[in-house]
Every structure is written in structure tokens, then in C-alpha cells.
Chain A
Amino acid sequence: MPSTFDTVANIISETCDIPRDTIKPESHAINDLGIDSLDFLDIAFAIDKAFGIKMPLEQWTQEVNDGKATTEQYFQLNNLCTRIDELVAAKGA
């Protein structure tokens, strides 16, 4: 079974036509990979489907805009994968 990171990296690679080997756990989706908000909708749709979750993007964006969180906390891939794992665990609880 692929790891959360592998699944997310494959989704990003296919959705945004980014070479898979350039996508690292420490990559920042926006700053390093150049993913814009519209492409991120496609990625979010694919992630939501793949994991059976609903990533709270609006909440995350609001926290960043309010200065309560940094973009790294949600959009650096290793952190994003941790959030996904938490959502999956919460779903099964």
C-alpha cells in the first residue's frame, strides 16, 4: 500500500504535470512547486476522493490569512500528509 506521501505526490505529478522525482516531502506546494489555487482545487478533489476525506481548505486559508498559521503548516507536503493522516484517523474514530 503506497504511503500518504506517495499518493499525494503522484496526484500532484499527474494533475500539474510536474516530474514525480522533483516532488519531495519537504517541497512546499506553492513556493517550491508553483501550484496555484485553481490547480490546488484539482489536487484537493483528487486527495479528498483518494482518502475519503474533506480537507478543510477554507479553514486552513483563514488561519493563514489571520496569521494564526503559516503556509508551511498546511502546504509543505510532509505537513500536508500529516494533516491528511489525521483526517483519515478522525474519520475512522
Chain B
Amino acid sequence: MRIEYFQLIDRIVDLDLANQTIRTEARVPTASTIFEGHFPGFPLMPGVLLIEAMAQTSGWLIIGVTRFTRMPFFAALKEAKLRSFITPGQTLALSAKLLHEGSGYAVTKADIRCDGKVACNAEITFRLVDFPNPEFRASMDKMAAILQFPMGALATADTQHG
């Protein structure tokens, strides 16, 4: 997790296109300027960033399902629950499931587990649009490599459905 660069997940662990699910993981850094303000003497991972981590996890699922043809943008959040404190150094297991892929939008259900317990969960709606420009698309390819996006899962799914 590189909070200052808004990279809230470290690695894609599994992408299951048949079941339209994804699992990712992230480790909260032990030190960050964010913890100086949130909060002095009691550092906590901000809930809004946990929600962003769920959105990024969901986003990579949608990118996989749409075969890198559409870019999901966070549009709405429902039933968000922040169930426990997340502190520096903790490892997070994130997962998301696609509830529906509509025309120009998608809805996911996502959660974060820490030490086996659900720490937060939400239903997230995204607008799906074409990639705005080639540079943007290239940056997503680069980030996919950093996150170890399993390109093989796309090929396997294409073979099964082809």
C-alpha cells in the first residue's frame, strides 16, 4: 500500500471471472504522514481510504470482467460499514463480487478482512466509460503489472467461453 500515491492495494491474489469475484491484499504502512493527523497518538487507517481500497479492488474486478475495455469510476456507495479500527502494520484481505454489470454501470459488494474478521464492507456503484486517452490506458497497464494482475485468467476465460 502506497497511501500517498493513492495505491491502496498491494497485489491481486485471485481473479475468478467465472464467478465474477476477486481477492486482493494490502499491508497498511507502519508510518505515514496521514497517521500524524489521523490521529496524533492514536494512528488509525482512515475509513475513507478503506472504502477506496474496496473500490480499487472492485475496480480491478470490473476491468477484468470487461477485458480492459472499460474504466470504472467510483459513483456511489451504499451500506458502508466500518466495523473495527485498522492500525499501521496490519495486513488486509480484500474481496469483491460483481452483483450486476449494467449498461454503462456496474455494482459490486466488497469487504475487507483483518485477522479473519470482517473489518468493513459496502456496496459500490461505478460508472463504466471508455478509457479517456491512451496515456491513461497505458498507466493502467503499468499498474496492472505492479499489482500482478493475472492476465492468464483472461485468456483462460476466453478459451472457456470461446
Which A residues lie at the B interface, using CB under 8 A?
A: 38, 41-42, 44-45, 48-49, 54-59, 61
| CA A45 to CA B109, docked complex, whole Å | 14
Q: Are A55 and B103 in contact (CB under 8 A)?
A: yes
A-B contact count (CB 8 A): 35
The yes or no answer to B102 lying at the interface (CB within 8 A) is: yes
Q: Does B68 contact A (CB under 8 A)?
A: no
Contact of B125 among A45, A48, A58, A61 (CB under 8 A): A45
A55 to B102, CA, bound (A): 7
- Residues of B in contact (CB 8 Å), total 11
B104 within 8 A of A: yes
Inter-subunit contact B105/A45 (CB<8 Å): yes
Cα distance A38–B75 when bound, in Å? 7
Task: Determine the residue in chain B with the shortest Cβ distance to A39.
Answer: B76
Looking at the complex, which one of A38, A48, A59, A61 makes contact with B102 (CB distance below 8 Å)?
Answer: A48
Distance of A41 Cα from B107 Cα, bound (Å): 10
Cβ A45 vs Cβ B102 within 8 A = yes
* Inter-chain contact B103/A58, CB cutoff 8 Å: yes
Q: Which residues of chain B come closer than 8 Å to A48, judged between CB atoms?
A: 100, 102
Complexed CA–CA distance, A56 and B102 (Å): 8
* Chain B residues with CB under 8 A of A54: 101-103
Q: How far is the CA of A31 from the CA of B44 in the complex (A)?
A: 45
In the bound complex, do residue A42 and residue B102 qualify as a contact, i.e. CB atoms below 8 Å apart?
no
CA–CA, A55 and B127, complex, Å: 15
A54 to chain B, nearest CB (A): 6
Most chain A CB neighbours (cut-off 10 Å) among B101, B105, B127: B105
Given contacts A38-B75, A38-B76, contact A45 B103 (CB under 8 A): no
Say whether, besides A42-B76, A42-B125, A57 and B100 are in contact (CB < 8 Å). Answer: no
**Do the beta carbons of B103 and A56 come within 8 Å of each other?**
yes
Going nearest first, the 4 A-B pairs with the smallest beta carbon separation are: A57-B103, A58-B104, A58-B103, A41-B105
